[in-house]
Amino acid sequence: MSEAVVKATKVETRSLWARFLPRDERVILVLIIAAIFAILVLPPLVFLVKGALTITQGGETRIGLDRFITVLSLKGIWTSAFNSFVFALGSALLALIIGGVNAWLVERTDTPFKPLAYLTTIISLGTPYVLYTSAWLLLLSRSGPINSWYRELTGETGVLINVYGLGGMILIEGLLWSPLVFLLLGSTLRNFNPDLEEAARMSGAGTWETLRRITFRLSLPSVLALAMLVFIRTVEAFEVPALVGLPGRVHVLTTDIYEMMHRTMPPDVGSASTLSTLLLCVVAVLLWYYGRLTRNAERFATITGKNFRPNKIPLGKFRFLGGAVLVLNFLCLLILPMLILVWASLLPFYQTVRASAFKLLSFKHYFRIFESDRYLSLLGNTLLVAVVTATIVMVITAIAAWLSVRKLPGARMVDQLGTVPLVFPGIVLGVGVMQFFLSMPIGVYGTIWIIVWAFLINYLPYGIRYSYAGMLQVHRELEEAAAVSGASPFLAFRRIVFPLLAPSLVAGWLFIFLLATRVLTLPVLLSGPSSQTMAVAMFDLWSNGQGPELAALGLLWSFAMTAVALIFYFFARRSGVGLYGQG
Amino acid sequence: MALRVFHRRSLLIAATLAAFAQPALALDQALIDAAKKEGQVTWYTTQIIDQFARPAAQAFEKKYGIKVNYVRANSNEVALRVLNEARAGKMQVDVFDGTGATAALKSEKIPAKWIPEAAKRLPANYIDPEGYWVATNLYVLTPGYNTEMIKKGTQPKTFQDLLDPKYKGKIAWNSTASSSAGPGFVGVVLNSMGEEKGMAYLRELAKQNPSGLAVAARQVLDQVIAGEYAIALNIFNNHAVISAAKGAPVDWVPMNPALAVLSVISVTKDAPHPNAGRLLLEFLLSEDGQKIYRDADYLPVDPNVPPNDLSLRPDGEKFKAIYKTPEEIDKEMPRWAEIFKSLFR
């Protein structure tokens, strides 16, 4: 008996020791992570604001708001702001409608052809945006097949669709985002408690009424949060506004920043910084609101966790209509863009789809790519950047999430600091990082490491979301058990938490890897002679007028990345974290 | 096509034979040895990769065994990169070329004051009097048009013809502040018509709603070839010839006057591979180097290497051009760009 008491006291003291002393050790870790985040996140912010506020007049330098007044009274700046708003709102709505309808059909009905929806999504995850955008431009442009066939059929000289305008921008950007909406809404709908819907049906509500009053209402918070996310990302978008908007004289804020950097020599960095700072403020407000929306959304998510399958609604005679929607989506999002790229990749110079061009087809662009050793070094650079970035981000954020979920003092704040980069549009971050390294005496500018640095900042928030969502699933009991057995918290993290987190970390790693291999804006601004990446090469090919070679290179690249995306999809499903770390 | 390839081959063979027959300009062996020791050279270029930069780099690598790292961008971007590297104190670039922004870098003392031996046989107007740059080739900027959308013979031939309402919405140009873009066109109009008439003309042209594309002039022309637009303004006339030779439905218009600009090249003062950089310039300006420009359908500066298509070069009679040095372009460009922005944005 007394022996048992002694044993119990011993356990008590040891667990007390385990609870208090190691916490102090872990606080050091909090400080280290805080320092890393601060070094990454703060300099570009500081440099932007400093660039916006510093005014040099006649050799004198002072701080002032003059630039803000100048920029805000620029001709057309409010039109650009308005265009940004309409563009973002329209794209978010379109992406929600397309992605939402597909998600509902796949997750909640007995529609046929469901695998097509997943196939579309996975391949779109592996395709660079610049390639997708040019493919849709080829399809929808004045000389594209749709407009030229329209002219041939009707004898008209005009166009059926004028893609160069706000409408075209919204259409293409909306299509770009719809796979993401499909994935995110799909997981919401999958984890739905069917009891509420059944109760509604018991009370005499029909399918439509249940859908409207129960299903839609319940998913409203996540739908709103998602709309907000797409809205923010579209405000920050650059590729579509540059390639689709500018030819039709539609300016948005990001293209204005780009033009400020490119219209004059030397570039007007002061005005660009000022407009960037303003854009940053707008996005920060939106993100704060997004944060509130998702916080509330989690309250609605309390019905997850039970192991159930929501019932599938039989569509009856409309079943094939549902199937037709999925097939149409598959055709529009995947087959048509891929076909036009294949067509373009076989031509010596681009021509629209017509009989007279068939005799020109050849595989020479593919041969040229395989012969050139330049692409091999680009491939090496791209993989190096993506692997290093993804690895560092996931390791740091795994530790940060661990500290945060275990509620160490200050750890939550550190987490918040790590999500700050969400406010940076790519082009703004690029300018900030460039200025930071130009003013530093260390030789990072123009090397591959400046791209890695910018990517680390850019993808930190994604890493945090994955790690955090994965960490929530690991209960502290396990670490306590380790502590009782005499393990230090670090050993417990390394041997227990880290392996348990692995599936989420791998999913996050692959997601960041895929983003890093296809994102354009940062490498275009920051790459030097020996640090170019595949996306930069694609942009060069586009602006060089080597569209056909771009199509060939892009297709090969997409095939390789689709393989990675498949692995990613497999891990994300297994980790139970969901594809975008949304938990 | 086959005939053309054969023709090129025979030219190459002839060139090789000529090289054997007479010793090339005596190049300082010490420079070659030092360059080979450096082993590589970094070149920021505005030359289109597949048309010129890649073949030129391959020829240089083959001749000297020195690797060429080339990065392509437009003149402003090239200058910006060079400027940034100089300010960051870490020069990576050895050689850079462009049509305008070189002059801006001169004031920062970034290019080396050095003229290659090979250039000394060129006419004086191809060499910077201050000694910072030398021209490698001439660009002539004219309109280009799609021959399927506008039948040959009915194409616009004068500035006034461009105002025809049937071209409304069918004209495109590059919108950056460069000579091969809308602002360059503004410059030609103002220089040839004078301020008042020029501005009146530009206001009329604005009613045609030309599309300003954020892409290089080469890409503007490609969109015309694809049928997106019927007319491209201020494109490089040799690009139209290169594409037409591949069968593309495109031709260019000898506008009176056209804008003629020099593509100039410099070695940086703090080049990491100064000897390889100098050797690259010696190579590009040698007769062999100039023949690469010719074979790529560019306009060489060497009077002994006439272009393949003589009509590309303004003869001064039926096809005139306004010539601008990089310094002049640098000086006038801000104003042209401002007018462009106010009228065509």
User: Average pLDDT, stretch B24-36?
Assistant: 79
The whole-angstrom distance between B36's CA and the closest CA on chain A is 19
Do residues B86 and B251 touch, judged by C-beta distance below 8 A?
Answer: no
Whether A24 and A88 map to the same domain: the answer is no
Do residues B252 and B1 touch, judged by C-beta distance below 8 A?
Answer: no
| A572 or A414, which is more confident | A414
Banded pLDDT at A222 (limits 50, 70, 90): confident
Which domain does A537 fall in, by range?
18-51+365-583
The whole-angstrom distance between B151's CA and the closest CA on chain A is 15
**CA pair distance B132, B128, nearest whole angstrom:** 6
Whether A43 and A131 map to the same domain: the answer is no
Whether B104 and B40 map to the same domain: the answer is yes
Of B77, B88, B345, nearest to A76 by CB-CB distance is B345
Do residues A535 and A517 touch, judged by C-beta distance below 8 A?
Answer: yes
Banded pLDDT at A575 (limits 50, 70, 90): low
- Residue A255 included in any domain: yes
Do residues B336 and B184 touch, judged by C-beta distance below 8 A?
Answer: yes
Count of the separate structural domains present in chain A: 2
Give yes or no for residue A547 having a pLDDT over 70.
Answer: yes
Whether B85 and B27 map to the same domain: the answer is yes
Whether B216 and B340 map to the same domain: the answer is yes
Whether A47 and A130 map to the same domain: the answer is no
* Residues ≥6 apart with Cβ < 8 Å to B47: B53, B56, B72, B97, B263
Whether B8 and B113 map to the same domain: the answer is yes
Which pair of structure tokens corresponds to residue A144? 């594209």
Contacts of A142 in chain B (CB under 8 A): 227-229
Whether A318 and A369 map to the same domain: the answer is no
What is the tens place of the pLDDT at every residue in B45-102?
Answer: 988 887 899 899 999 999 999 999 888 887 877 888 888 788 777 788 999 998 877 7
Banded pLDDT at B315 (limits 50, 70, 90): confident
- Cβ–Cβ below 8 Å for A249 and B211: yes
Whether A579 and A435 map to the same domain: the answer is yes
What mean pLDDT value characterizes chain A?
A: 81
The whole-angstrom distance between B29's CA and the closest CA on chain A is 28
Interface of A with B in 519-558 (CB under 8 A): 528-530, 532, 540, 542-547, 549
Whether B177 and B326 map to the same domain: the answer is yes
- State how far the alpha carbon of A233 is from the alpha carbons of A124, A173, A292, A433, in Å: 17, 10, 17, 20
Whether A158 and A209 map to the same domain: the answer is yes
**CA pair distance A234, A525, nearest whole angstrom:** 20
Whether B194 and B106 map to the same domain: the answer is no
Contacts of B72 in chain A (CB under 8 A): 540, 544
The whole-angstrom distance between B22's CA and the closest CA on chain A is 34
- Cβ–Cβ below 8 Å for B213 and A251: no
Of A360, A443, A544, nearest to B247 by CB-CB distance is A360
Whether A144 and A192 map to the same domain: the answer is yes
Length in residues, chain A: 583
Whether B133 and B270 map to the same domain: the answer is yes
Do residues A431 and A272 touch, judged by C-beta distance below 8 A?
Answer: yes
The candidate with the shortest Cα–Cα distance to B234, out of B167, B194, B179, is B179
Contacts of A445 in chain B (CB under 8 A): 84-85, 88, 90
Q: Tell me how far apart the 2 most distant CA atoms of chain A are, in Å.
A: 102
CA closest to B215 among chain A residues:
A543
Whether A323 and A423 map to the same domain: the answer is no
How far the first Cα of chain A sits from its last, in Å, is 47
Give the Cβ contact number of residue A68 at 10 Å.
15
Give yes or no for residue B22 having a pLDDT over 50.
Answer: no
Interface of B with A in 250-309 (CB under 8 A): none
Do residues B94 and B41 touch, judged by C-beta distance below 8 A?
Answer: yes
Whether A340 and A402 map to the same domain: the answer is no
The candidate with the shortest Cα–Cα distance to A184, out of A142, A153, A229, is A229
Whether A22 and A101 map to the same domain: the answer is no
What is the tens place of the pLDDT at every residue in B169-189?
Answer: 899 999 888 888 999 999 999
- Cβ–Cβ below 8 Å for B227 and A142: yes
Whether B280 and B334 map to the same domain: the answer is no
Omega prior to B183 cis, within 30 of 0: no
Whether B330 and B197 map to the same domain: the answer is yes
Whether B219 and B328 map to the same domain: the answer is yes
CA closest to B45 among chain A residues:
A529
Whether B167 and B201 map to the same domain: the answer is yes
Interface of B with A in 136-175 (CB under 8 A): 172, 175
Whether A214 and A263 map to the same domain: the answer is yes
DSSP alpha helix (H) spans, A109-144? 114-125, 129-140
Whether B304 and B289 map to the same domain: the answer is yes
Give DSSP secondary structure letters for A346-377: TSSS---S-GGGGGG--SHHHHHHHH-HHHHH
Question: Which residues on adjacent β-strands are paired with residue B235?
Answer: B142
Which pair of structure tokens corresponds to residue A215? 């299903």
Residue B324 in 3-state DSSP? strand
Q: What pLDDT score does B36 carry? A: 93
Question: What's the CATH number where B98 sits?
Answer: 3.40.190.10
Q: What pLDDT score does A249 carry? A: 86
Count of the separate structural domains present in chain B: 2
- Does A249 reach chain B within 8 Å, measured CB to CB? yes
Which domain does B230 fall in, by range?
139-260+316-344
Whether A334 and A403 map to the same domain: the answer is no
Backbone angles phi, psi at B48, to 5 degrees: -60, 130
What is the tens place of the pLDDT at every residue in A242-296?
Answer: 889 988 889 999 888 888 877 666 677 788 888 888 888 888 888 888 777 766 5
* Residues ≥6 apart with Cβ < 8 Å to A189: A103, A104, A107, A108, A215, A219, A310
Say what the pTM is: 0.80
Question: What's the CATH number where A465 sits?
Answer: 1.10.3720.10
